[in-house]
Homo-oligomer: A and B are copies of this chain.
Amino acid sequence: MAAVTELTVGQVATRSGVAVSALHFYEARGLIRSHRTSGNQRRYGRDVLRRVAIIRIAQEVGISLAEIGAALESLPEGRTPTREDWNLLSTAWRDQLDQKIAQLKKLRDGLTDCIGCGCMSIDKCPLRNKEDRLSAQGPGARRLLVAR
């Protein structure tokens, strides 16, 4: 064990808590990169750990891999985020998280208001009316699922 500069997939998997297959997958999606040994095996620099950590955090925030990839890509030279970059990314992602939280809170308040009210009787419930409004928006109105 001389220089511990290079990591195998297995080592990255162990240290990051992400399956080998997931790492392959991220690489195929362009989220991480590796170079190969003469025997065609992947070797990673240590910065891959940071990258993977960022990916997982962003995923928890609810960001899709595609968006994460775009965010990383949009960094100058597509580099692994420095501390400065990370501030930008995490701030943006925190804002998204804030929005999501706010949305869920609104829904919860709706639910709370509904408990014990006459909602189920007919037509009065704010939650249900919200539904109605959606259907009233034109012929063949369809409720579109908002992308995450």
User: What residues of B have a CB within 8 angstroms of the CB of A60 in the complex?
Assistant: 107, 144-145
Secondary structure of the A contact surface, majority rule: helix
**Distance (whole angstroms) from the CB of A12 to the closest CB of chain B:** 10
**Distance (whole angstroms) from the CB of A102 to the closest CB of chain B:** 10
For the complex, give the distance between the alpha carbons of A130 and B24 in Å: 22
Q: Does A79 contact B (CB under 8 A)?
A: no
A119 to chain B: closest residue by CB:
B86
Q: A142-B19, A148-B147 are in contact. Are A90 and B115 (CB under 8 A)?
A: yes
For the complex, give the distance between the alpha carbons of A98 and B112 in Å: 11
Q: A57-B111, A101-B105 are in contact. List 18 more A-B contacts (CB 8 A).
A: A15-B132, A16-B135, A17-B133, A17-B136, A19-B142, A53-B131, A56-B134, A56-B143, A81-B120, A83-B121, A86-B115, A86-B119, A94-B108, A94-B115, A97-B104, A97-B107, A97-B108, A104-B146
Q: Does A116 contact B (CB under 8 A)?
A: yes
Whether A17 pairs with B131 at a CB distance below 8 angstroms is yes
Whether A120 pairs with B86 at a CB distance below 8 angstroms is yes
User: What residues of B have a CB within 8 angstroms of the CB of A70 in the complex?
Assistant: none
For the complex, give the distance between the alpha carbons of A145 and B67 in Å: 15
Whether A104 pairs with B100 at a CB distance below 8 angstroms is yes
Whether B120 pairs with A97 at a CB distance below 8 angstroms is no
